[in-house]
Amino acid sequence: MPESADRWGAARLGGDGFVLRRWRRDDLDALLRHADDAQVSRAVSDRFPHPYTRGDGIRFLSGEVVDLSQPVFAIEIDGEACGGIGARPGSGERAHSAEFGYWLGRAHWGRGTMTRVVAAFAPWVMCELALYRLFATVLDCNPASARVLQKNGFVEEGVQHCAVRKRGRLHDLRVFAKVRRDPDASP
């Protein structure tokens, strides 16, 4: 699908030191540079493999791994895609809700970047998709991601015990959500 043919093709969200934009085919080398890192992959879904190969990148950028017609964006810093953020809306009776996730290349950790990215993305996607609920799950071994969500007003709703097996170890999943009960209220 051409970049401009989808609903979010022209979407560009900017913030302090970053831009959120659609993934492009020419992001492949940058994607490989930042995604092929065991530390990056340790706390995200297994559909984000390690090692992260050229074939993995090509499959991702062609939409075979996640639905790129959804609001799925590259995080661009200094002109280079170095992470990603996206939402997967529910359907049917859950169409008012979406799950979202994100990752960032290790070279950019510890600078508050992801907190600023989530601060830009979360209210935008809640308005764009008319959501009442936006949620994320965080592995128990990733307290930094939990802090990002808490700093952005997400509330921890609970823990799914022994929910994920990753690299031979069982992990709990912490569930965080931001809700708005009034459709006219800002997220």
Q: In the chain, what are the domain boundaries?
A: 3-179
In this prediction, residue 6 carries a pLDDT of: 61
Asked if the model's pLDDT at residue 8 lies above 70, the reply is: no
Helix axes of 54-61 and 28-35: crossing angle, nearest 10 degrees: 120
Helix axes 113-128 and 143-151, enclosed angle (nearest 10): 60
Q: Is 21 exposed, middle or buried (0-12, 13-18, 19+ CB in 10 A)?
A: buried
DSSP code, position 6 = S
Q: How far apart are CA 93 and CA 13, in angstroms?
A: 29
- Distance of alpha carbon 66 from alpha carbon 170, whole angstroms: 24
Q: Is residue 16 scored above 50 in pLDDT?
A: yes
| pLDDT (average), residues 29-43 | 95
More confident residue, 2 or 39: 39
Instruction: Tell whether the model's pLDDT for residue 169 goes beyond 80.
Output: yes
pLDDT of residue 3: 40
The mean pLDDT of the chain is: 92
Q: Which pLDDT belongs to residue 186?
A: 73
Cα–Cα separations (whole angstroms), residue 144 to 9, 78, 92, 161, 178: 30, 23, 33, 19, 18
Q: Give the residue-averaged pLDDT of 93-119.
A: 97
> 49 pLDDT exceeds 70?
yes
Give the pLDDT band of residue 1 (cuts 50, 70, 90): very low
pTM of the model as a whole: 0.91
Eight-state DSSP code of residue 162: E
The CATH classification number of 3-179 equals 3.40.630.30
Q: Say if residue 184's pLDDT is above 80.
A: no
> What's the pLDDT score for residue 43?
87
